Every structure is written in structure tokens, then in C-alpha cells.
Chains A and B, each alone.
Chain A
Amino acid sequence: DQQVKQNSPSLSVQEGRISILNCDYTNSMFDYFLWYKKYPAEGPTFLISISSIKDKNEDGRFTVFLNKSAKHLSLHIVPSQPGDSAVYFCAASGVGGGADGLTFGKGTHLIIQP
């Protein structure tokens, strides 16, 4: 049973527009959420995170929104740039972070078109 779900395997967005990547989770014990970006043959690179006590966190072009009641989070990238083309993973952890590691979704492949 997948506890973190990214239901869109791919997303195509025009350069300069907003990219919105979605993630749903089922485990109510998750309290910290992260987004990672991954290029082929490289490890995931940390982008942005949010604690369950917040509903929004912003860092430059990246904003993460958390809706705890819906168990849903989203990553907004504005404006989208060609270098943003990559696979984006949503991940979640429980209290204390370590015990079960991070639980990842399957990823969304974002393609930024010129």
C-alpha cells in the first residue's frame, strides 16, 4: 500500500508559466514533508520542505502548500525554467525523522517546453 502518492507520472509546462506538482499521503503520522528534484544518473537534490504545523513555505521560485485535512501537498514553481526539467519526488517522514526513513512517491517527470 503506497503511503505517498504522486498520481501524475509526467507534466508538461511552457517556460515562464507556473508548474504545479501534486502529492497525496495516507499516513496521518507523517509530520514533515519534502520535495526533491532528480536528474538522470544523479541522487535526489533537496528543494524545499514543510512541517505539519505550517500550511505554506516559500523559497525563491518554489512554494510548497500543505493541506493536512485533505492529506495533500503541492509544489508550485514560478516561473518555470528549462533547468527545472527533471523528476520531482515528494517524500514524508514521521516524528523524529529517522526510524523509518523517508517514504517517497513514485515521482513526476516535469518537462519545461520552450
Chain B
Amino acid sequence: DTGVSQDPRHKITKRGQNVTFRCDPISEHNRLYWYRQTLGQGPEFLTYFQNEAQLEKSRLLSDRFSAERPKGSFSTLEIQRTEQGDSAMYLCASSLAGISGETQYFGPGTRLLVL
């Protein structure tokens, strides 16, 4: 399977714990994005990488969130001191940067539940 993969698919944690999610993009894609989706909403942009450089962060990305893409391949998203409001589906997408009109391909998501 050469699509975007995410791990784990589901995570249940207690408030205050740290969690880390992993995303493996499509191999030739140089851009990687993280989104968050809550019930009844569309995905909301969190941050993106071009190769290993994190180029943009949304205001949604609080100080408790950190993302890395150390070798320009897979990426991790860590949430520290989780809160119940962090419960959501976390989606990763990848694309190949172009002059215009790049299409992002999404992974299956990681569903986080904070108790």
C-alpha cells in the first residue's frame, strides 16, 4: 500500500497524559500536513512541512502541540498534558509541491479520546 498511513488508529488517554501520533506520507511527496477534525466540522489545518522544515502553524496549534519531521519523511505530532477538548480525529495528508493546484492525499486518521 503506497498511501498515507497513520499510527495508531485509535488512542484513549487520561487527561494530563502526553500522546504521540505518527504519519508516514506517500514516499515521493515533499509536503506533509496535519489537520484536526471534530464532530460536524470539516478538517481544520494545524501545520505543514516542506521536507523537514515546518513552514506554517495555525493558531489552533497551542503550545502543548509540537510536530516534527526530522528526516523529511515521516512526521510525529505530540500533544502534551492532554485536555478533554483535544478529543478529535487527527488527520495527516501529503502532497507534491507544485506551481499551483496541488492535491493533498489523506491518511485514515488517528481518533483521540481524552477521558
- The listed residue (B43, B101, B108) touching A49 by CB distance below 8 A is B101
- The listed residue (A32, A96, A97, A102) touching B43 by CB distance below 8 A is A102
One digit per residue, 1 when the CB lies within 8 angstroms of any chain A CB and 0 when it does not, for chain B 39-74 equals 011111110101000011010000000000000000
- In the assembled complex, the CB of B53 is this many whole angstroms from the nearest CB of chain A, namely 11
What's the interface size class on B, roughly? 20 to 34
- The listed residue (A36, A93, A96, A106) touching B106 by CB distance below 8 A is A36
Which B residues, 85 to 104, have Cβ-Cβ distances below 8 Å to chain A? 91, 93, 95, 97-104
Q: Judging by beta carbons under 8 Å apart, are A89 and B43 in contact?
A: yes
| Interface residue? B15 (CB, 8 A) | no
- The listed residue (B4, B45, B98) touching A43 by CB distance below 8 A is B4
Q: Judging by beta carbons under 8 Å apart, are B91 and A96 in contact?
A: no
| Interface residue? A111 (CB, 8 A) | no
Distance, CA A97 to CA B100, complexed state (A): 6
Contacts of A100 in B (CB 8 A): 45, 56
Given A46-B105, A102-B93, output 16 extra A-B contacts at Cβ < 8 Å. A32-B101, A41-B109, A43-B4, A44-B106, A49-B103, A97-B97, A97-B98, A97-B101, A98-B50, A98-B95, A98-B102, A100-B56, A101-B33, A101-B46, A106-B42, A107-B42
Chain A residues with CB under 8 Å of chain B are: 4, 31-32, 34, 36, 41-46, 49, 51, 89, 91, 93, 95-107
